[in-house]
Amino acid sequence: MKIAIASDHGGVELKSAIVNALSTVATIQDFGPATKESCDYPDYAIPVAAAVAAGEAEFGILICRSGIGMSMTANRFQNVRAAICQTTEVATVTRQHNAANVLCLGANDVSPDYAVEIAKTFIATPVDMDERHARRRFKLERAGRLSDCSGLMHDDPEVFAAIKAQTEQEDTEINLIASENTSSRACREAAGSVLMNKYAEGYPGKRWYSGCLPVDAAEELARKRACELFGADHANVQPHCGSAANMAVYFATIKPGDTIMSLSLDQGGHLSHGSPVNFSGKIYNIVPYLVNKETEMIDYDDLEKQALEVKPKILLSGASAYPRTIDFKRIREICDKVGCIMMVDMAHIAGLVAGGVHPSPVPYADFVTTTTHKTLGGPRGGMVLCKAQYAKALDSAVFPGMQGGPLENIIAAKAVSFREWMQPEKKEYAAQIVKNCKVLCKTVQDRGYRIVSGGTDNHLFLVDVKTTKGITGKEAAAALDAAGIVVNKNTIPYDTESPFRTSGIRVGTASVTTRGMKEPEMIKIGTWICDVLDNIADTSIQERVKAEAKALVAGFPVP
Ligand SMILES: *Cc1c(COP(=O)(O)O)cnc(C)c1O
């Protein structure tokens, strides 16, 4: 057992009594002070609290005259629960109920002998795992998620109100937006960190400004981890978003007017794959490919035939609303026949690729672009992976080609997210996203709803509400929203409705899976979706589902 201990000038004697008594049963790290010279208690409380917060010490012990300043300082740290104990009874209860991990003692209140007894009781008492105490500790630790931004409460109440509203929305609604996920606290901490203060035009080791060593370290971690996670030769982690990642590849490889072949936007492609209203459609000659009208899936023979005729410079695959596995090996073969660049935008499925539940495009593609915030669940941002031979051209395309200073705070959060994905439990998580999606999809399908392509292989599916119920995607999404279930309207292949109305809705399971939901919850949610859409004008059903949905999500807290 490791114990970190410190005091101020008022607690030196008590501290040495405890160190002497406990050094036979624990490894004690004494953070001082050694003398009774006047000092500032936070200077001594901080290293002890930091050691406990980081998990380097199991317990902390802090002593001043009253114990109060020490406990206040220590309790500023996440995962530190510091308690002032004047009796062994209090030490017992605060261990059992609050899982206190920092013992604070007042030298004015207890004798050295009794302090030793309190300390021994504290470290020997196990935490009570009873549900009610666990629940209360959980609430304490999260502070209603408001501790994330508690400074804003006072400094900017208006912005704070917006964040609080988002927090409440996440806490009460079922989020099935396929392009969204829920980031970890660690990720948000990095994203909100002081790394945002630094200008770092250039790349690690080759920056324009001085003072870049800390951000170099963060960006190097992100690049290294990205390459390791996805098995890539090279990573550029600077693109501000997925669209910028795509722009970087175009800029690195082709000239204005050159031809790109990509999946049609209204069949699941993305704006930045060549929509006329997007830079990509304005600068390049875009030739869309379509899914097979019967199967609503990519027909690789048709794709090959078209690609050989069109002879694009880039064959771009990847989508925003394609529910099926993409055969990257086959696409590589097509690209080799055509002699074009193989570019894959895995924005939606990056987490499934990282978790090993969708084949990786990385071994095949010249370039792989992605966002880091969809199934990957990291900070909002973009990234490009490429073969070694393109590394230089890619990096110059990002900077100085299109961006100035990178967002090093976001890059650090990307690094945090990549590390999270290297933990073994993420494999299970990715598999659960797909399992949940299949169950949710089947529940809706079994109630008679037509599913585009007849099912799903990944984290999303499309429901044809027009054919099934004669309603538009817009109406369906609005009714579900009123019932506390958030989806988006989406065009389906060969849609006869405008993109503003659409015939379909898109449903994704990344966010609910992050919250820990499994198959039984998917059956409930699928049933609610159908209850609402079966009787779209019945607002009493929407109200009933909203209440039930709220009760369900209460049991699956946001990280
Ligand atoms: C979401 C998405 C993007 C773009 O992401 P932004 O970060 O919003 O620019 C690019 N490609 C695909 C396939 C996407 O789904």
DSSP 361: S
Residue spans of beta strands (DSSP E) within 65-215 = 82-84, 102-106, 174-175, 202-203, 206-207
Q: How far is the CA of 475 from the centre of ligand 1 (A)?
A: 25
Longest C-alpha distance within the chain, in Å?
Answer: 90
Q: How far is the CA of 11 from the centre of ligand 1 (A)?
A: 57
Q: Whose CA is nearest to atom 15 of ligand 1?
A: 320
- Which ligand 1 atom is at minimum distance from the Cα of 346? 13
Residue 321 beta carbon below 6 angstroms from any ligand 1 atom = no
The reported pTM is 0.95
Closest by CA to 120, choosing from 83, 100, 80, 92, is 92
24 counts as catalytic: no
- Report cis status (omega within 30 of 0) of the bond before 400: yes
Catalytic residue among 371, 372, 468, 513: 371
Burial of 336 (0-12, 13-18, 19+ CB in 10 A): exposed
Which three-class secondary structure state does DSSP give residue 462?
Answer: strand
Name the token pair of 5. Answer: 């201990």
Count, residues in the chain: 559
Catalytic residue among 13, 109, 171, 201: 201
The CA-based angle 14-19-23, given to 5 degrees, is: 160
Please list the pLDDT of the chain residue by residue as tens digits (559 residues): 999 999 999 999 999 999 999 999 999 999 999 999 999 999 999 999 999 999 999 999 999 999 999 999 999 999 999 999 999 999 999 999 999 999 999 999 999 999 999 999 999 999 999 999 999 999 998 888 888 888 999 999 999 999 999 999 999 999 999 999 999 999 999 999 999 999 999 999 999 999 999 999 999 999 999 999 999 999 999 999 999 999 999 999 999 999 999 999 999 999 999 999 999 999 999 999 999 999 999 999 999 999 999 999 999 999 999 999 999 999 999 999 999 999 999 999 999 999 999 999 999 999 999 999 999 999 999 999 999 999 999 999 999 999 999 999 999 999 999 999 999 999 999 999 999 999 999 999 999 999 999 999 999 999 999 999 999 999 999 999 999 999 999 999 999 999 999 999 999 999 999 999 999 999 999 999 999 999 999 999 999 999 999 999 999 999 8
Contact between 59 and 27 under an 8 Å Cβ cutoff? The reply is: no
Closest by CA to 227, choosing from 40, 400, 38, 368, is 368
**CB within 8 A of 80, min separation 6: which ones?**
49, 52, 53, 60, 74, 101, 102
Q: How far is the CA of 270 from the centre of ligand 1 (A)?
A: 7
CA distance 223 to 330: 28
Strand partners for 259: 285
CA distance 127 to 483: 40
* Edge-to-edge strand ranges of the sheet holding 488-490: 450-451, 460-464, 504-508, 488-490
Residue 546 beta carbon below 6 angstroms from any ligand 1 atom = no
Q: How far is the CA of 434 from the centre of ligand 1 (A)?
A: 20
CA distance 215 to 204: 8
